[in-house]
Amino acid sequence: MACIQMIGWVFDGPVDPEWKYETYVAKELVSYIDEHYKTIAEKKGRAITGLSMGGHGALYLAIKHQDVYGAVGSMSGGVDIKPFPNGWNISKRLGTQDEFPERWKQNSVIDMIYRIKPGSLAIAIDCGTEDFFYKMNVRLHDELLYNNIPHDFTARPGVHNWDYWANAIKFQSVFLSNYFNAKPYII
């Protein structure tokens, strides 16, 4: 198992040509790991998960690259970037929301649900009920239900901090273990 910690949004930035995190994580890193380590070099052998902006990133990458990842998890994910037009330097990567509203929509997980192919991804979403991202995670859960997309959704008391994530990571580990040990795999 390989883990990486990234600081930043996991999409390629049309404003900043050096910002190629989507390309790096979904293509270059996966290719490198498959070439240098004994892996199951197909989607049934890969999963991605993250917390906070990494939760957004994991869902974003898995949805856009359903041929690469078979399972995805998000803990306290910022699954809708549109409510934060001045937050986290997103505008340095996408341009301002006022100027490029469609870019912001195209890069928000909540607006990408239509791209999920039935049976393509095992999905787990986890968020604390006092987390400032909670309502958007509930909205994502509701949209997934409305679109008949199977997923696990967990909400427990907690805020956007390591005390919550230390527990959530255990649940994500069980989810991923169940995914990798299931027969047949989701394809």
Residue 16 lies in a domain: no
Number of helices (H), then strands (E), belonging to the chain: the values are 7, 4
- Give 45-68 pLDDT, tens digit per residue: 999 999 999 999 999 999 999 999
42 DSSP 8-state letter: S
Region 169-181: mean pLDDT is 95
In a domain, 3, yes or no: no
Query: Is residue 94 domain-resident?
Result: yes
The dihedral region occupied by 88, where left means phi > 0, alpha psi between -120 and 50, and beta the remainder, is left
Distance CA 56, CA 6 (A): 12
Return the amino acid letter for 103: R
State the pTM of this model: 0.91
| CATH code at position 142 | 3.40.50.1820
CA distance 127 to 104: 22
Encode 165-186: b = buried (16+ Cβ within 10 Å), e = exposed. Answer: beebbebbeebbeebbeeeebe
| Domain of 115, in residue numbers | 43-176
Residue 49 lies in a domain: yes
CA 128 – CA 135 distance, rounded (Å): 10
Q: Which element (helix H / strand E) includes 164?
A: helix 162-181
Q: What is the pLDDT of residues 11-30, one digit of tens each?
A: 888 888 888 889 999 999 99
